[in-house]
C-alpha cells in the first residue's frame, strides 16, 4: 500500500543531492556551538595525556636510568607548557562532562526522580573526594 522505489531501477547518475551550504566557521555563530567544539578539542589533550602516562609507565619499566631521562625531558619548557594546557583542558572537559551528567544519569527513588542538582552535586563531590585522595597519596 504505497509507492516503493528500488535503487536498482532508478539511475543515480543524473540525480543531484541537496547539500545545505555551511560555512567552515559555523561553530563561531553561537556560543553553544563554540563550547561544543572546544569540548571536543579537549579530547585531543585528554588522549595525549593518556599516551604520555603510558610512555611514563614504559620508561619506568625500562629501569631507573630510562625513567630519570624521561622525567628530565618532562621538565623542559615545552613539556611544562604542554602540561599546563593539558591540565586546563582536562579540567574543562571534566566540568563540562559533570554539567551534562544530570541529562545523562536519571536516578529514580521510589516514585520520583532525584533532582538534577542533587545528581550533579553528588558527582562534583565524588570528583572532589577523588582529587583529594590523589593529593593525599602524592603529598604524604
Question: What is the per-residue pLDDT across 79-97, written as a single tens digit (0 to 9) for each?
Answer: 999 999 999 999 999 888 8
Enumerate the H helices of 19-115 as residue ranges: 31-61, 64-74, 77-104
Question: Taking a C-beta distance cutoff of 8 angstroms, is the pair 86, 48 a contact?
Answer: yes
Residue 41: the pLDDT is: 92
pLDDT < 70 stretches in the chain: 1-12
Per-residue pLDDT of 25-42, as tens digits, reads: 988 999 989 998 999 999
Instruction: Quote the pLDDT of residue 128.
Output: 94
Helix (H, G, I), strand (E, B) or coil at 103: helix
All domains of the chain in start order, with CATH: 26-105 (1.20.1300.10)
C-alpha cell at 69: 631521562
As a whole number of angstroms, the distance between CA 67 and CA 54 comes to 12
Amino acid at each position: 500500500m504505497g509507492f516503493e522505489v528500488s535503487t536498482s531501477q532508478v539511475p543515480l547518475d543524473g540525480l543531484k543531492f541537496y547539500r545545505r551550504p555551511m560555512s567552515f566557521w559555523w561553530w563561531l555563530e553561537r556560543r553553544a556551538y563554540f563550547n561544543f567544539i572546544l569540548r571536543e578539542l579537549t579530547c585531543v589533550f585528554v588522549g595525549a595525556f593518556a599516551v604520555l602516562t603510558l610512555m611514563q609507565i614504559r620508561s619506568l619499566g625500562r629501569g631507573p636510568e630510562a625513567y630519570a631521562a624521561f622525567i628530565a625531558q618532562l621538565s623542559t619548557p615545552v613539556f611544562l607548557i604542554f602540561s599546563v594546557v593539558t591540565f586546563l583542558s582536562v579540567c574543562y572537559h571534566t566540568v563540562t562532562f559533570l554539567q551534562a551528567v544530570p541529562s545523562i544519569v536519571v536516578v529514580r527513588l521510589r516514585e520520583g526522580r532525584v533532582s538534577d542538582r542533587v545528581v550533579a552535586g553528588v558527582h562534583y563531590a565524588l570528583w572532589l573526594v577523588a582529587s583529594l585522595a590523589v593529593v593525599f597519596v602524592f603529598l604524604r
